[in-house]
Amino acid sequence: MLLRQNHHPHPRQKKKRKRSNLQFIWPLDDYIITRDFYYKASLYVGGQHAALDLIRKTGSTQAAPIRAVASGTVAGVGWDMYSGFFVAVDHAGGWRSIYRHLYRQTPVVVGQQVSRGQIIGNVGNTGWSQGDHLHFDLWSMAPIEGAFEKNGIWAVDPALYLGQEEDEMEEDQMQEIRELVAGLAAQLTAVRIHQSASDEARDTHVSREAKSVKDFVQKAGEARAKEIKDAMPSGGSVSKETIKQAIKELVN
């Protein structure tokens, strides 16, 4: 719970984000993690921090508002020599969040319903602490792979769960883009199919019309040639040139 910068590589950078039955937001509007979940020290129960220490990224950390990470029921408020002023909130699905070293006594009371994002306290330096910061725990009443067991309940790395609302928004936006692209692709395919069918129909129609005109002109030319032949003295013949000339006369 001492405020100390952690210079070790952050293990959460190597882990995938987790999905819970809730969407958790970060308890501070902007933040820097000064000590991560995996920090080892004998002063902690079980030898591991199993929580996050957070300060404000911009502005003053002292008395900065703390928000409930999800809707729930206030399960505990109080003060002890290690946590200073603290508040605990129970959430659906067997989750509990705890906020420690508050500036003063929390304004909420045990049994009160709180909503996600509701201000439930302010960052302080009470209890076993060497500077203004929020010590934040996220617990599961049921075992979770990779969680750290303490006193029969399981602490999880909050960094793997917090900010899911932002992830969902990004995923929603990506899904909208995917659906838009898929829709445009489907429309383009439909246009191409229609165009191909239209071209084929047009080519077929033109071909048929051309053949029909050709047949008509040919027959008309032959009929005209026959008229010419009939008008000739007995025994006369009609050459191909004569038929071509007859067709030319019809066309012109």
Mean pLDDT of 51-70: 97
Homologous superfamily (CATH) of 11-162 is Glucose Permease (Domain IIA) (2.70.70.10)
pTM strictly above 0.85? no
The predicted structure's pLDDT at residue 150:
86
The predicted structure's pLDDT at residue 143:
95
- Who wins on pLDDT, 135 or 168? 135
Mean pLDDT of 93-97: 97
- Which among 51, 68, 247, 245 is positioned nearest to 133, based on CA atoms? 51
Dist CA 174 CA 125 (whole Å): 41
The predicted structure's pLDDT at residue 245:
65
Q: Is the pLDDT of residue 203 over 60?
A: no
**121 CB neighbour count, 10 Å cutoff:** 27
Q: Is the pLDDT of residue 46 over 80?
A: yes
Q: Considering the chain, what is the average pLDDT of its residues?
A: 79
